[in-house]
Structure 1
């Protein structure tokens, strides 16, 4: 019996041992099933990711096609334009089409030329007004009209007003310089001919370089001193002071070349300071219409107080009102076209082109006012314009040197880019070599 009981006990122990083993096997099966389910879920996630990537590729391709089609419709060609983007490209454009293409490419210079023409026409109107109305009343009236025009641009463009104490302070200073520069320019026209006055005012780049050296800490080269000397010689030839050239009996008794030269130089200094301040304001992100609007407000306030203090108010005639409106209109659009020229073309080419204003001023002086300059005035104007061109070239070289210095800090990995990757690809299929795909599209558009 003891042996039998021992056998039963042994069987019970074996069953007890077998049950945990069975449970372990069932747990292993559950773990294996869970692992298979996780793997299947991962496969579903991977398939979903692939589907998302394919959808993104489709969206990107459709967006690219839409952008290319918009480029063709709107004329905003990108850097990778091909014949696929153009409906009917011109393989062999005519000479007239090539001429139109060159005009389209250089439209920035056309804006600069138009700006010079508008500024010179404004100078002619100023010359007429300065002899009939008080210069401070003229400046006040023109400033009010400028406030209206620039204010409309601010309103419809939803441009934000200036923010911060520095911006408001700089606007006050630039407005005061403008309120000094414009009346003195008008006074110079009152005492000397329009061509000579504008030529002297064009010494402004000389003073701009000096103020930029003082305020903006820009370098001053030795050649700039040479330009100062040449420009000063040009001013002397135009002013023709009696202690150097003697008295001129044929001179108009209403003219006073020396006094007109002083006013023109003061105007040039004021405008040069205005240019330097405006450059600093533009660097701070201030909009050009904001500058025009608030400068005109300050100018109107200062000149109204001055005109009231001098008791120089007078009721303009109908012709004077037309001249004032014309003056304000020409000044506003001259500034707009100059800014457009600077946006579309290199600054050096714009600077050189705008010096034609002096030539236009002499043309108006001869054709409208029947006043013929002598050879001394002509030589002086040429010297001053030459200094403007020289300053433009030296400024361009300085900017080029600065850009080369900055490129030295570029990551050397960029240097590994091959030349073929940097050059915009062109498709050569039986077309004129000098006419690119973009040019052929522009020819069609114009």
Structure 2
């Protein structure tokens, strides 16, 4: 090839302006190549903060499911949970079969998969029962203290270092839980008789909310070990475990009651759809955004719980609940922002 032809080729490649969405054919050393001048962007690339938006939708759907548990007072909380997870199981089982994923997960990760199913089941069962024993906002706020226990488990099981900020936020989180719980030896007897009658098992609800936070934290630790396991497989087994455990527990605590009326069935279908959507959008959030900023959005769940408490149930929110919620929300945000900074300082 002569120097003149080489110059012509360079001119063809670099100097001619290229219209959008066209293809250029160039000949180099007798070989034709085809290049796309402009690649069409996918939907996640076109929408700013797509991962954060998905996280917010997922958190909102989880909060809606929590609200439905309170609205369906005629059914036991575990029965609602069984129906929700049975509906949730169907699409993820179908996806697992369609994608030809291994039904039992990857070898070497099956113990972690089993522990995630057990801890996740414990978390949802205790949380759903707690919703019936105390205000929705208080149960949700205590449940959101799970990052404290995640830090503890990460230190004990994964040998991760605990920073000074993590230690401080952990202590403040515990203070927030105590303020919400209002133990009598610190706050004296509660003079609000109406709340005493309505939530006569509040102490049990507080304990169950703390158990839910602890089991959620342990579930997150096991999810870290399942990063290479397909998400539909994890959700499929998780949903099935909840159904089996719920069917074993419900006859002991109560009896199965057939839902009556279109309202009950519509709410049950809605909670099933919310469960499916929550898992889907949370998965998309972690796929298109780092865990740090996604974790920040979890605090929005506390805000929604207070909104439902005031607007739907017309309950008066006490100053102790607001103070405790602010402390715990602040700690969740602080922990998530610190994690975000450590993951990607430039983006932060």
Shared fold (TM-score greater than 0.5)?
Answer: yes
Matched, 1:321 2:261: no
Kindly tell me: are residues 107 and 399 of structure 1, through their superposed partners in 2, closer, same or farther at Cα, counting changes over 3 Å?
Answer: closer
| 2:297 paired residue number | 353
Gaps of 5+ in 1: 1-51, 78-100, 402-446
Counterpart Cα distance in 2 of 1:309 and 1:193: 25
Contact 1:145 1:328 in 2 (8 A): yes
Counterpart in the other structure of 1:216: 158
**Aligned pair 1:371/2:340, yes or no?**
no
Q: Which moved more, 1:378-387 or 1:240-249?
A: 240-249
- Looking at structure 2, the residues matched to 164 and 116 of structure 1 have their Cα atoms a distance apart, in angstroms, of 29
How far off its partner does 1:236 sit? 1.4
In the alignment, does 2:225 pair up with 1:259? no
Aligned to 1:197: 139
Matched, 1:104 2:47: yes
Deviations 1:86-128 (A, max 9, x none): xxxxxxxxxxxxxxx9x82222222222222212111111222
Hey, what does 1:166 align to over in structure 2?
108
Q: Distance in 1 between matches of 2:87 and 2:207?
A: 28
- Tell me which residue corresponds to 1:34: none
Alpha-carbon distance between aligned partners in 2 of 1:248 and 1:132, rounded to the nearest angstrom: 28
Alpha-carbon contact 1:240-1:257 (below 8 Å) kept = no
1:372 alignment partner, SS class = coil
What does residue 268 of structure 1 align with?
213
Q: Match for residue 303 of structure 1?
A: 246
Is 2:275 the counterpart of 1:341?
Answer: no
Would you say 1:140 and 2:110 are equivalent positions? no
User: What residue in structure 2 maps to residue 286 of structure 1?
Assistant: 229
1:68 is aligned to 37
How far off its partner does 1:367 sit?
Answer: 0.8
Kindly name which structure, 1 or 2, has the bigger radius of gyration based on alpha carbons.
1
User: Partner of 1:281: helix, strand, or coil?
Assistant: coil
CA distance in structure 1 between the aligned counterparts of 2:224 and 2:268, rounded to whole angstroms: 29
1:227 pairs with 2:169: yes
Q: CA RMSD in A?
A: 2.4
Alignment equivalent of 1:117, drawn from 39, 60, 64: 60
Output the CA distance in 2 between the equivalents of 1:174 and 1:228.
23
Between structures 1 and 2, the one with greater helix share: 1
Q: Can you list the C-alpha shifts for 1:158-188, whole angstroms capped at 9, x where unaligned?
A: 4343455533322222111122111110121
Deviation at 1:309?
Answer: 3.9
Q: Structure 2 vs 1, CA of residues 107 and 165 (structure 1 numbering), >3 Å: closer, same or farther?
A: closer
The secondary structure found in structure 2 opposite 1:336 is helix
In 1, the alpha carbon distance for the partners of 2:265 and 2:96 equals: 25
- Tell me if 1:54 matches 2:29: yes
Q: CA deviation at 1:242?
A: 1.8
On the 8 A contact 2:137/2:302 being kept in 1, the answer is yes
Q: Find the aligned partners of 1:311 and 1:199 in 2 and give their Cα distance.
A: 27
Q: How many residues align?
A: 314
Query: 2-side partners of 1:375 and 1:220: how far apart?
Result: 32
Q: CA deviation at 1:322?
A: 2.3
**Residues 241 and 258 of structure 1 are in contact (CA less than 8 Å); yes or no, is this contact kept in structure 2?**
no
| 8 Å contact from structure 1 (residues 113, 353) kept in 2 | yes
Find the aligned partners of 2:327 and 2:269 in 1 and give their Cα distance. 34
The answer to whether the 8 Å contact 1:108/1:342 transfers is yes
Paired residues of 2:290 and 2:340 also in contact (CA < 8 A): no
Contiguous gaps of at least 5 residues in structure 2: 1-26
In the aligned structure 2, how far is the partner of 1:115 from the partner of 1:76? Answer: 21
So what's the TM-score if we normalise by structure 1?
Answer: 0.66
